[in-house]
Amino acid sequence: MKVALLGGTKGIGRALGRLLSERGHSLCLLGRNLAELEASAQDMQVRAGEPRSVPIAACDLHHPDGFADALAAASDKLGGLDTVIVTAALFATQEELESNIALTRDLVTVNFANTVVFCEEARKRLLRAGGGTLCVVSSVAGERGRKPVIIYGASKAGLSAYLEGLDHKFRAAGLKTVCVKPGFVKTGMTAGMAPPPFAGEPEGVAQDILKGIERGTPVVYTPGIWRYVMLAIRNLPRFVMRRISF
């Protein structure tokens, strides 16, 4: 595969970039911190086990005007693109968001509106080339409105609905849309939070994502048990949801 990866310097994205490199795929890292991108690129070049450069290109989810140029740069550096992966996102606790309206606006804008705009640029580019795969990390937090993740979950719910619509409309045209819904994953994003049962590690989540990309799976729950956890949560009556803190 020829992959543009937005968010490959931390957590799930870094683990996935390492795995892609180890499996021999061509990779261009996109992100806003060029120093972190370069460090990650050098790490992934070593993991490739053979002479293969991992180019980088600037792309900041806060600035949609740069999305098309970033994807064009990745395509130029790799000699084409057939896969675009988005793992970048913002996270904050519900308490932080309730007390900071500017942070709320930023998170909702980046996680939903700007991510959709980036995906639209990727969709158009991939379809012009005959098709490909668009893989985006959403979250189980978007499955249902829940007290601990009201605002973050809403941003991911919108993203998941958008990705489902893309899959319905464009799969027949050659665009495979893969929506990844991780449960709790032990990354820097969740540092300091007590992990619940079934918490995942970035490396295991990366393996699940790659399998989903290879198979063209429309929705990937990872770790897999979260599919059944969220099935139960989706079917709880509203009066029960008001009483529990999950």
Catalytic (active-site) positions: 152
158-166 long-range contacts, CB within 8 A, separation 24+: 158/112, 158/116, 159/111, 159/112, 159/115, 159/116, 162/116, 162/119, 163/119, 163/134, 163/136, 163/138, 164/218, 164/219, 166/119, 166/123, 166/134
Strand partners, 219: 179
The three state secondary structure string of 130-159 is: CCEEEEEECCHHHCCCCHHHHHHHHHHHHH
Q: Which two tokens stand for residue 63?
A: 């600035």
Q: How far is CA 121 from the centre of its chain?
A: 16
